[in-house]
Amino acid sequence: MASNVNVGKRMSVIKPYKKFMLVLAITSLDKAIVLTNSYFTDSAKELPQRLNVALWDRSTLTKMTEHTATLDKK
């Protein structure tokens, strides 16, 4: 389904990401979030900033998980 391009030790899913950004550009969505369990490249961070897209990488997901776990204990 996804077109993977080997970039060193990481795999980068390029075509689906670009299609997602195109859909955001032509629809009336106000905000969106793209998640990864890895990290985004500098070039991958450029377009989302212009389209009001939040990028959640491994660090953000870890923080959100820890925050949710803290809330669950209350």
Per-residue CA distances from 31 to 9, 34, 48, 53, 71 (Å): 31, 10, 10, 6, 25
Distance, first Cα to last Cα, the chain = 41
What are residue 58's phi and psi, to 5 degrees? -55, -45
Q: What is the mean pLDDT of residues 13-41?
A: 78
5 has pLDDT over 80 = no
Quick check: 16 and 3 in contact, CB under 8 A?
yes
For residues 21 and 48, what is the distance between their CA atoms, to the nearest angstrom?
7
* Stated pTM of the model: 0.59
Q: Which domain holds residue 60?
A: 4-73
Residue with structure tokens 């776990």? 69
Structurally, the chain folds into a number of domains equal to: 1
pLDDT at 3: 42
Mean pLDDT, residues 24-42: 83
